[in-house]
Structure 1
Amino acid sequence: MGKTTPTVVLDGFSYLECPRWHDGRLWVSDFYTEKVVAIDGRGAAEVVAEVPGQPSGLGFLPDGRLLVVSMRDHRLLVRDESGRLDEHADLSGVVSGVLNDMVVDDRGRAWVGNFGFDLMGGAPLRYTTLTRVDADGSVAVAAEDLGFPNGMVILPGGVLVVAETFAGRLTAFDIGADGELTGRRVWAQLGDTPRTEDVGEAVAALEVAPDGICADAEGAIWVADAVHTRVLRVAEGGRVLDEIDTGIGVFACMLGGDDGRTLYLCAAPSFAEHERRPVREAQLLAVQVDIPHAGLP
């Protein structure tokens, strides 16, 4: 693709994450205003949910209802047609940190990551688990020993790929008919994995810090690099096919638009909560790409 500079779709947010293209609009969580916002292609925005526990991962059940991760109280919420939020699942018994991103499959099963340690409080880095929430709200540990499981995609054919931010890699699993994850393997190693419990040292050592991700119709994955103001298009095996420099921190991405070729980027000057919470400097950016969206979300 040509080196096109992203343009600003909308600004004035606190910290955007987990964008999802659904029903002709981009749905996105704004962490510190505690709102989920749906944005059309012309920049008009509607608040579709308010989540006092801080919204993060988004997804949609087969019947179209919205699922929302409520980070701080370890719950997964469901939004009905009237806009009311109810509890879909309580993950507090199986997670060791605040909840994070999520992907939902076409059977209504959700895979939810968690921080695993107090990132914003300066705690030592710890690896953690991935949780599966079935359509009936039942909860189970799906995988262990993940280095900050973050963005996720489900590729056509039923392969779950998880961005491990502090391991600098994308990790793949096969999804069984019963939802069990098997065949764990590295889908793309994006530099050496830091061997330290110090978060600052780990951030400095990461060649790529994969945060939010999305997949395209050629089987490549767009990766928001949380520490290098860029988004990368990566092939299985780790070869970088393309790079877009945003000039600002980019923490999540999603292919959308009517033809699936608009790459939306969630951007902000940094990810630190104490820097982002009091200000409204986050932006939603967009750039046109050649290969359209595929897979989930």
Structure 2
Amino acid sequence: MQFPSIILILHQLKKSDLQLYQENQLLQAAMLKLKNNSQSIGLVPTMGALHEGHMSLIREAEKQSDVVVISIFVNPTQFNNSSDLDKYPRTLEEDLILLNQNFKDLIIFSPTIKEVYGESITSEKFEFGNLAQQMEGRFRDGHFDGVGTILKKLFNIVQPDKAFFGEKDYQQLLIVKKLIEITHQNVEIIGCPISRENNGLARSSRNKRLSEEEQEKSTFIFKTLQEAKEKFGTKNVLLLKQEIEEKFSKQDFLELEYFEISDAATLVPVTKVEEHKKYRAFIAAYANDVRLIDNIALN
């Protein structure tokens, strides 16, 4: 959607206090004014198709910041599957209406791909080490380089004091913290609890591609994670993993990509539990062709 169309949408919204930017330089000028007035800036990076999970991140950002910027940008470099990129929901008009209904003051940054990447849509390479080699890294080649690339660019443009991320993408959260360590950007990374539907399904923009019946069937993911949490510490880790994988093998709707029990700090899969360490269980599964992820703290 081009800039004039977005402006038209904003004019149609009653009493809209949303400020929208599509150009880097204009947003940077606005951020500089805020910084000069000693106002703290919180950033919530999104790819749009907004839902209550995003709203919860924005509310947390409001608590901890004077001004909140939400970016809406479907980042092409973090998709290793072109079909997944093509099918990713793009609902900017609905997003703006939702934001206007829920917030009084908000700055929105919705740039074009060319504005962000220029003529070369490529990823920078980062040394994320072992964090990027587990789970998502094994199945989505180049994904975290794409994530690091867009976030480095956004942090440079917005210059936020804090940036807010949901723990549903827990591996990404650790990767972003590592990014700050690598790039030395002065941004505090805040992790926020997973937002769930009443039935337990982790909220995700990808859920929009599922029918109500399919969403209900997909709650098996969270129920399985809860079961793993209940049995953690009372059963051998490898046996527990095998049990969970067998349960998925009997599913006629969900296809398991991976189930891991990992060290919460390093993401290395574990075979035995040690005292004074934190662990999490992670699942990635396909509901038809829609890829869903979720995780839970085990102790």
TM-score, normalised on structure 1? 0.24
Higher helix share: 2
Higher strand share: 1
Larger Rg computed on CA atoms = 2
TM-score, normalised on structure 2? 0.24
